[in-house]
């Protein structure tokens, strides 16, 4: 089957490459010429484990190609995926649909024969109706069916998630499209991937509901962590005690500095706006957004308190910048608020991240960058672990301490145990875990 994917970012590229790996003939389209040129040279513009090898293999096999020309790319395609960004619109938090609508308009005249247009981008309820309207009003002769097929992959595990998903939600309004979508995912279906067909609006809402729920779950355990700190309970054990209950489940119950990333912050905000638009307020999600916003900044106060209440002219080392490990994505990372909070109080901040420093340089002013965890600790009055990359999970604590001015470790991911850190003479602060007396 010939498939075109418009937008070759985290989702579009992974979708295109994995569909090619299933045996489909895929062209990935992006208007960013430098991205396409890099992909054609075999360079991967993002960091995602396993992606480079899969791109190389499928390009060599002739199943995967890249172009900036939307018209050429979609002409013979039976299916066109739209996987462009839907960021928060400046000022009001609504999902910015201008890229999605722009693609709909562009492809209206370019498609030929019956074509299934699939929205993979995360879009508010009713967007599929508007995409169909745009295509029909631009080209009344276009024979298209618009489908919603939201993506649930996680950055850092994107290929595995795409190839072995918990479910594939497909919202269709047209029986012909249903058959085509079943064919797109057939190679996966043999592996018993649960393909769930529903209507378009339900599929669109399912994505927001899932993300809002996960963001709420994280925020819930973060508030429990605060309560643990106030009461002397241990949040890791509370989470375990909760999570062993199958009705709750243990995932997304790790207390930390607050959620970030390219999805949860914008999708929760958009969900609040959708609720307002339909006169159906999303109070829990509204509260989640506000609790999480305050938490990110509160983490810098936690560091300041650990440093005796003042960080002016002190050096704070930051380990990890990306919103989670195994990605280079810095969008809405908690590290940004934490570092800004420290800089605002007069600290000198030195940071290191295995993949995120390139993007971080453009996002945060006034930070110095080091090339290893141990370099970050040099002359530091405190080291803050913000992102739990593997290389920060078993640091040589004696070595870390050696260069530091004062041995203070603030562990915002609860990677370490108090006793093992204290043994090395650190003063240690973590999230929601009592200090032994």
Picking from 274, 296, 278, the residue whose alpha carbon sits closest to that of residue 286 is 274
Tell me the per-residue interface mask from 18 to 57 with ligand NAD, x by CB under 6 A, - otherwise. -----------xxxx--x----------------------
Whose CB is nearest to ligand NAD? 9
Among 56, 75, 76, 102, binds ligand NAD (CB under 6 A): 102
CB of 285 to ligand NAD, least distance (A): 16
Q: Is 85 in the site for ligand NAD (CB under 6 A)?
A: yes
CB distance 120 to 83 below 8 Å: yes
Output the smallest distance, CB 207 to ligand NAD, in A.
7
Q: Which residues contact 260 (CB under 8 A, 6 or more apart)?
A: 296, 323, 324, 331, 332, 333, 334, 335, 336
**In this structure, what token pair is assigned to residue 120?**
């993979």
The separation between CA 109 and the C-alpha centre of its own chain, rounded to angstroms, equals 33
The residue range among 82-90, 214-222, 312-320, 425-433 that interacts with ligand NAD, by the rule CB under 6 A, is: 82-90
**Closest CB 324 distance from ligand NAD, rounded Å:** 10
Handedness of CA 162, 167, 173, 175 (dihedral sign): positive
Per DSSP bridges, beta strands 115-119 and 79-82 are parallel
Residue 422 neighbours by CB under 8 Å, 6+ apart = 428
Could you tell me which stretch among 4-12, 71-79, 241-249, 410-418 binds ligand NAD (CB under 6 A)?
4-12
Closer residue to ligand NAD, CB minimum distance, 10 or 369: 10
CB 104, min distance to ligand NAD, A: 10
Residue 219 sits in the site that holds ligand NAD (CB under 6 A)? no
CB of 402 to ligand NAD, least distance (A): 38
Reference 303, options 277, 340, 276, 266; nearest CA is: 340
Q: Tell me whether residue 83 or residue 431 sits nearer to ligand NAD (CB atom).
A: 83
Near ligand NAD by CB under 6 A: residue from 10, 66, 81, 264: 10
- Total residues contacting ligand NAD by CB under 6 A comes to 27
User: Active site includes 28?
Assistant: no
Q: Which two tokens stand for residue 65?
A: 């190609």
Q: Which stretch binds ligand NAD (CB under 6 A): 151-159, 224-232, 353-361, 421-429?
A: 151-159
Least distance in angstroms from the C-beta of 85 to ligand NAD: 4
Determine if 204 is a binding residue for ligand NAD (CB under 6 A): no
Give the pair of three-digit tokens for residue 219.
């925020």
- Where on the phi/psi map is residue 107: left (φ > 0), alpha (ψ -120 to 50), or beta? alpha
Strands, DSSP E only, in 38-177?
64-67, 79-82, 115-119, 144-148, 168-171
* Residues 239-278 within binding reach of ligand NAD (CB under 6 A): 262-263
Could you give the residue numbers annotated as active site? 263
């Amino acid at each position: 089957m010939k498939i075109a994917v418009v937008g070759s970012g985290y989702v579009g590229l992974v979708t295109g490459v994995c569909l090619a790996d299933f045996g489909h003939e895929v062209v990935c389209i992006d208007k960013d010429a430098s991205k396409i040129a890099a992909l054609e040279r075999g360079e991967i513009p993002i960091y995602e484990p396993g992606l480079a090898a899969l791109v190389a293999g499928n390009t060599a096999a002739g199943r995967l190609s890249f172009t900036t020309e939307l018209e050429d790319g979609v002409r013979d395609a039976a299916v066109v995926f739209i996987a462009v960004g839907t960021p928060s619109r400046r000022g009001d938090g609504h999902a910015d649909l201008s890229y999605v609508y722009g693609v709909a308009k562009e492809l209206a005249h370019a498609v030929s024969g019956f074509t299934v247009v699939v929205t993979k981008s995360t879009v508010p309820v009713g967007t599929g109706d508007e995409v169909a309207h745009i295509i029909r009003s631009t080209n009344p002769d276009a024979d298209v069916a618009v489908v919603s097929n939201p993506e649930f992959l996680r950055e850092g595990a994107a290929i595995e998630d795409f190839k072995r998903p918990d479910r594939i939600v497909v919202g269709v309004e047209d029986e012909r499209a249903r058959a085509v979508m079943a064919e797109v995912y057939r190679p996966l279906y043999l592996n018993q991937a649960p393909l769930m067909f529903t209507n378009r609006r339900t599929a669109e809402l399912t994505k927001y509901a899932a993300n809002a729920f996960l963001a709420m779950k994280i925020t819930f355990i973060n508030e429990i962590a605060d309560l643990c700190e106030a009461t002397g309970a241990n949040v890791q054990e509370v989470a375990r005690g909760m999570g062993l209950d199958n009705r709750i489940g243990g995932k997304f119950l790790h207390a930390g500095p607050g959620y970030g990333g390219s999805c949860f912050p914008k999708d929760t905000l958009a969900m609040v706006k959708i609720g307002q638009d339909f006169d159906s307020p999303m109070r829990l999600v509204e509260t989640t957004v506000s609790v999480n916003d305050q938490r990110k900044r509160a983490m810098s106060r936690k560091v300041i308190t650990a440093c005796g209440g003042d960080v002016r002219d002190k050096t704070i080392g930051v380990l990890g910048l990306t919103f989670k490990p195994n990605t280079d994505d810095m969008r809405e990372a908690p590290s940004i608020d934490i570092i800004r909070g420290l800089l605002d109080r007069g600290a000198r901040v030195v940071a290191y991240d295995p993949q995120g420093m390139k993007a971080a340089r453009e996002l945060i002013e006034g930070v110095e960058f080091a090339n290893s965890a141990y370099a970050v600790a040099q002359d530091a009055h405190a080291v803050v672990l913000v992102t739990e990359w593997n290389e920060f999970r078993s640091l040589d604590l004696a070595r870390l301490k050696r260069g530091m001015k004062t041995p203070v470790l603030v562990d915002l991911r609860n990677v370490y145990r108090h006793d093992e850190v204290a043994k090395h003479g650190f003063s240690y602060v973590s999230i929601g875990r009592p200090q032994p007396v």
